[in-house]
């Protein structure tokens, strides 16, 4: 699987270079996410972004990283994310189950837009909502769904064909391997 397009190249990144991510780039990613498909075009999503190291470090205790290899992909100083986007929805705009699809569409858009700018990211759904709510001063009527951690990649995960076990793993050189089910297993033509 040596495809070169952003869709095949995108991998979850949990180790980042210390290089700052320009605020304007993060704003562009959120702008791309804003334009993503939305059920009934209700657009209930709200985004809270930061490139502040202090805020990012304060958020780390509320995020859980790479469950299958824990704690080997927990953040380490010098390789922390350099931007974060908290993805929420405003319950007053919509509170239907379709909101989750909006979140998926927005987050993947943001991640792919990031790849097109040389960024890597991690979609973090395992969050401690109360801690993030305080830190990011999230309004009561906004539900927090996830955090997207971003930065310039300092790891190079490899995708490979799953043979039964889909759990990602680290090899002896600390490289992340991500098994994906083969196309023949997930696609059926009629």
Ligand X SMILES: Cc1cc2nc3c(=O)[nH]c(=O)nc-3n(C[C@H](O)[C@H](O)[C@H](O)COP(=O)(O)O)c2cc1C
Binding site for ligand X (CB under 6 A): 11-12, 14, 64-66, 122-126, 157, 168, 178
Tell me how far CA of residue 178 lies from CA of 45, 50, 74, 163, in angstroms: 29, 28, 17, 11
- Does residue 137 come out as left (phi exceeding 0), alpha (psi in the -120 to 50 range) or beta? left
Output the smallest distance, CB 137 to ligand X, in A. Answer: 22
What span, in angstroms and rounded, lies between the C-alpha atoms of 189 and 45? 35
Residue closer to ligand X by CB (options 11, 48) is: 11
Lookup: tokens for 24: 């304007």
Output the smallest distance, CB 188 to ligand X, in A. Answer: 22
Q: What is the DSSP letter of 20?
A: P
Beta carbons within 10 angstroms of residue 142's beta carbon: 20
Residue closer to ligand X by CB (options 163, 190) is: 163
Cβ(44)–Cβ(99) under 8 Å?
yes
Beta carbons within 10 angstroms of residue 139's beta carbon: 12
Residue closer to ligand X by CB (options 65, 136) is: 65
Residue closer to ligand X by CB (options 27, 128) is: 128
Residue closer to ligand X by CB (options 27, 71) is: 71
Output the smallest distance, CB 133 to ligand X, in A. Answer: 17
Cβ(110)–Cβ(45) under 8 Å?
no
Cβ(21)–Cβ(150) under 8 Å?
yes
Cβ(73)–Cβ(176) under 8 Å?
yes
Residue closer to ligand X by CB (options 6, 27) is: 6
Output the smallest distance, CB 127 to ligand X, in A. Answer: 7
């Amino acid at each position: 699987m040596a495809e070169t397009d952003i869709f095949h190249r995108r991998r979850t990144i949990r180790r980042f270079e210390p290089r700052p991510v320009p605020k304007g780039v993060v704003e562009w990613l959120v702008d791309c996410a804003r334009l993503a498909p939305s059920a009934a075009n209700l657009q209930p999503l709200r985004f809270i972004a930061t490139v502040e190291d202090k805020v990012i470090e304060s958020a780390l205790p509320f995020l859980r990283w790479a469950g299958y290899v824990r704690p080997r992909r927990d953040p380490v100083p010098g390789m922390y994310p350099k931007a974060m986007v908290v993805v929420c929805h405003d319950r007053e705009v919509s509170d239907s189950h379709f909101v989750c699809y909006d979140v998926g569409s927005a987050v993947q858009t943001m991640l792919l837009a990031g790849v097109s700018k040389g960024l890597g990211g991690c979609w973090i759904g395992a969050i401690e909502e109360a801690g993030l709510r305080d830190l990011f001063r999230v309004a009561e009527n906004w539900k927090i769904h996830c955090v997207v951690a971003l930065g310039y990649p300092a790891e190079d995960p490899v995708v490979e064909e799953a043979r039964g076990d889909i759990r990602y793993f680290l090899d002896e050189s600390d490289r992340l391997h991500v098994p994906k089910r083969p196309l023949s297993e997930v696609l059926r033509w009629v």
